[in-house]
Amino acid sequence: MTLAAARPLPRVGLRGLFDRRLRTWTAMSGVTLLGLVILSAYLMPLAYMTATSLKDAAQMSEPGAPLYPAKPSTFQWQGQEYAVYKVPTADGVHEWALVDPRREDATFVDPAHPENGTIEWQGRWRTLEQAWQFGLQLENFVTVWNQLNFARLLFNTFAIALIGTLGTLLSSTAVAYGFSRFRFPGKNGLFLLLLATIILPFQITLIPTFAVFLALGWTGTWLPLLVPHFFANAYNVFLLRQYFVTIPRELDEAAIIDGAGSLRLFFRVVFPLLRSVAVTVIVVQSVVVFNDFTNPLYFLPGDQNATVQLTLFNFQSQYATQYNLLFMNMLLITIPPLLMFLFFNRHIVAGLTSGAIKG
């Protein structure tokens, strides 16, 4: 029996290696470019809101104003301040300060060379374009902060978000632990019924919930916004339950042999293993409670118990035409959730993907 001679591997020339690397680089560049385009489309509203919040009110109403925060350029000459315009001349467009406006001509001064004296220009100065220079109107932040009593609003919102998130974490963890570890009649049916509440519209339960809280006398307090969080959340229960089933039961058996009961087993053995998924629940739930508008609108009348989202609605009705102040309010509300996602992004991804294989 003879063996066929092994065929020699084809040699890859420099041209082939170059073409292969070029195709790889082109594919990676195309994907990166597509990602940057999509990212820019999502970040464009945020960038526009940030730029507008730092603009002056006069810039908002000026037709030729730039998109970035700016203020009209001025020049100090002989103890007085003059506006700077873009003046067309035979040798190009210059930015000159208008010191003596007249009907058919005007007198200018070159800010770059004021020692040359005045410059006479023929034409209608009202047709000239205003010159702008970069300038941030940080006074908008102070105005919004003082007018809205923003410190009080942030305290109310963070307190509600913190207490509500703590209640959601404890209750959802306990319910998920029960569904993953205990055996009882109708367990699967109850779990499916719990998951079915995810698709239940909020508007269906709004009126009955309001009637119950009104009968209890809780309207106008924080209780309607806090108590429901201590009765678990279907999405968080599902997320935590999927993680619990990945924890080996041998840990439970070893703890039981050492004399641990159900509560001690839960708090001393299982709960410390929930770091990634717990951070995910905390961040997501905190952002949901922080951005909640409907519940404070119905259950928190008055300014003392108001949250930032509810006050944004009232602020919009008062300052509907002052977009710089309105967008500054939006920017202040956007910063806390954005920071949470930036700092805990890795933990969120790890928590959402935990339990994805074994269910």
**Cα→Cα distances 226→75, 83, 281, 282, Å:** 57, 56, 16, 15
d(CA 302, CA 305) in angstroms, rounded, equals 6
Upper half-sphere CA count for residue 69 (Cβ side, 13 Å):
20
Residue ranges with strand state E in the chain: 70-72, 74-77, 80-89, 92-101, 105-109, 118-122, 129-130, 132-134
User: Mean pLDDT, to the nearest integer, of 91-95?
Assistant: 91
62 versus 163: the higher-pLDDT residue is 163
Residue 223 lies in a domain: yes
User: Mean pLDDT, to the nearest integer, of 280-289?
Assistant: 86
d(CA 32, CA 26) in angstroms, rounded, equals 10
Please count the residues of the chain: 359
User: Mean pLDDT, to the nearest integer, of 263-271?
Assistant: 81
Residue 10 lies in a domain: no
Residue 32 lies in a domain: no
Give me the chain's average pLDDT, please.
83
Q: With bands split at pLDDT 50, 70 and 90, how would you rate the model's confidence at 303? A: low
**Any idea what the CATH number is for the domain that residue 239 is in?**
1.10.3720.10
Task: Identify the domain containing residue 222 by its residue range.
Answer: 141-353
Identify the pLDDT of residue 119. 92
Identify the pLDDT of residue 1. 46
251 versus 346: the higher-pLDDT residue is 251
User: Mean pLDDT, to the nearest integer, of 163-179?
Assistant: 91
Residue 357, pLDDT above cutoff 90: no
Q: With bands split at pLDDT 50, 70 and 90, how would you rate the model's confidence at 3? A: very low
Residue 255 lies in a domain: yes
Residue 306 backbone dihedrals phi, psi, to 5 degrees: -70, 160
Cβ–Cβ < 8 Å for 354, 276: yes
d(CA 356, CA 70) in angstroms, rounded, equals 50
Pairing of strands 132-134, 70-72: antiparallel
Q: With bands split at pLDDT 50, 70 and 90, how would you rate the model's confidence at 332? A: confident
Identify the pLDDT of residue 320. 64
User: Mean pLDDT, to the nearest integer, of 234-258?
Assistant: 85
What is the percent of the chain with per-residue pLDDT over 70, rounded to a whole number? 89
Residue 163, pLDDT above cutoff 90: yes
User: Mean pLDDT, to the nearest integer, of 184-189?
Assistant: 88
Residue 9 lies in a domain: no
Residue 105 lies in a domain: no
Residue 45 lies in a domain: no
Cβ–Cβ < 8 Å for 86, 128: yes
**pTM reported for the whole predicted model:** 0.70
Residue 244 lies in a domain: yes
Counted domains in the chain: 1
Upper half-sphere CA count for residue 79 (Cβ side, 13 Å):
0
Residues 206-245 pLDDT 10s: 889 999 999 998 888 889 999 999 998 888 999 888 888 8
User: Mean pLDDT, to the nearest integer, of 94-110?
Assistant: 92
Sign for the CA dihedral angle at 241, 246, 251, 252 comes to positive
